[in-house]
Structure 1
Amino acid sequence: MKLIIFDVGGVVCSNTSVVDHLSSYLNLSRKQFLDFAYQSGLHKLQEGKVCVKDFWEKFSELYGKTIEEDLWAKFFKPDLIVETVEIILELKKKHRIVAGTNTIESHYKIHTARNDYRFFDSIYASHIIGISKPDTRFFNHILEKEKVKPEDTVFIDDTSENVESAAKLGIKSILFTSAQELRRQLPLIL
């Protein structure tokens, strides 16, 4: 393999979903929060097509109360998955390792400040490249930038829809369930 692409949330870091915290904080059901979030442009936020300030302004209109702080940042407290990091460090001895992550600017800044991306040779973040998984253009963008063929690439993600999308392009794809299971599966495809 010439390239291995790792998702970040749920694969390299745990505690990356803040939806339950935000729902509780705003006294909304998870469904209500997500309905408001998608109507406020969550998908556009992930693709860098709307800024955090504009997102929360739109959300505030739907919610009926003004939200003045970036709640995405307030509740984002990721933890590195040490076992996955160990695998990445081992793989880096022979392979180019990049991150391919759906994220938003607020979370990206926190990851960057914490130095969570230090293990990667490059970072492909949805809000920067303007495309998010599972869109096949996300993977094609990485392949093009890295100058590699799908068959020379492995992709690891904890979302089956993303794994299936990458696999359709001929990328060897692994659905992440645990670092231990990843360690077992990698030798079968490398």
Structure 2
Amino acid sequence: MIKNIIFDFGDVFINLDKEATYRELYRLGVEEISEKMIQVYYDYEKGLISTNDFVDYFHNEFAIEKEDLVKAWNAILLDFPLERLDFLKELVASNKYRLFLLSNTNDLHISWIQKDWGMDLYNEFKNCFEQFYLSHEIQMRKPNTDIYEFVLKKNNLIPSETIFIDDTLENTDAAEKLGIKTWTINRVEDNVVDLLNREEFLV
């Protein structure tokens, strides 16, 4: 029986255009994504470097204006369908599940969301969760095993009683290896509001 639900953020609640940042960077002169760039991105997502250092890297490496870089970086972020918040609030009201958020994200993205949504809506969303884990705050990122072990241990969760919803197969595969049930959302075909209709919740 499922007692705990761990949600990803992007393409589960907020819609994303995952190619948008690459398109915008290309327009700004970044024609190839190097291993160094990916490592800088991972370090930023894990909170190992500051926003200033992250922006400075692209500014110094590619002569991109800092404001343009920030806009390009946040181009991935789209809308937040409020039916998903309504669904989340219904889950909270049912008092049947412990709810957690576990997201690979960074300070620039969260700052954009807070400004775009407004803090009232952001806090209403955040307060639906028992714990709100962002990779840049806990200095771990999916799909590394340590982040799942951290959430399980910190909250005394039994893997077989826990489902993890994410849009990336690599992330759900890693969770499954620890015995966590998973749902890999396809943003075109699936909607998180249909979660309780899944087989795991009908047994």
TM (normalized to structure 1)?
0.83
Please provide the CA RMSD for this pair.
2.6
| 1:85 Cα deviation from its structure 2 partner | 3.1
Q: Which residue of 1 aligns with 2:8?
A: 7
2: distance between equivalents of 1:59 and 1:161? 27
CA distance 1:189–1:105, change in 2 (3 Å):
farther
SS where residue 79 of structure 1 aligns? coil
2: distance between equivalents of 1:175 and 1:96? 19
Which amino acid in the other structure matches residue 5 of structure 1?
I
Identity fraction in percent: 26
Show structure 1 runs of 4+ deviating over 6 A.
Answer: none
| 1:76 Cα deviation from its structure 2 partner | 5.7
Once the two structures are superposed, the pairs formed by residues 24-173 of structure 1 within 5 Å of their partners are 24-29=26-31, 32-33=32-33, 37-38=37-38, 41-63=40-62, 65-69=63-67, 71=70, 75=75, 77-92=77-92, 93=94, 94-113=96-115, 114=117, 115=122, 116-173=125-182
CA distance 1:14–1:146, change in 2 (3 Å):
same
Q: Contact 1:163/1:174 (CA < 8 Å) preserved in 2?
A: yes
Q: Which residue of 2 aligns with 1:185?
A: 198
Which amino acid in the other structure matches residue 10 of structure 1?
D
Higher relative contact order (CA 8 A, sep 6+): 2
CA distance 1:56–1:186, change in 2 (3 Å):
farther
**Structure 2 segments unaligned to the other structure (5+ residues):** none
| 1:153 Cα deviation from its structure 2 partner | 1.0
Q: Larger deviation: 5-14 or 17-26? A: 17-26
2: distance between equivalents of 1:138 and 1:173? 15
Q: Contact 1:155/1:172 (CA < 8 Å) preserved in 2?
A: yes
Once the two structures are superposed, what CA deviation does each residue of 1:40-65 show, in whole Å capped at 9, x if it has no partner? x10000000001111122222321x1
CA distance 1:186–1:27, change in 2 (3 Å):
farther
Q: Contact 1:150/1:170 (CA < 8 Å) preserved in 2?
A: yes
TM (normalized to structure 2)?
0.78
Q: Contact 2:45/2:104 (CA < 8 Å) preserved in 1?
A: yes
Aligned residues: 186
SS where residue 142 of structure 2 aligns? coil
Q: Contact 1:134/1:162 (CA < 8 Å) preserved in 2?
A: yes
1: distance between equivalents of 2:37 and 2:82? 31
CA distance 1:143–1:189, change in 2 (3 Å):
farther
Q: Larger deviation: 101-110 or 73-82? A: 73-82
Q: Contact 1:47/1:128 (CA < 8 Å) preserved in 2?
A: yes
1: distance between equivalents of 2:51 and 2:101? 22
2: distance between equivalents of 1:150 and 1:143? 7
**Structure 1 segments unaligned to the other structure (5+ residues):** none
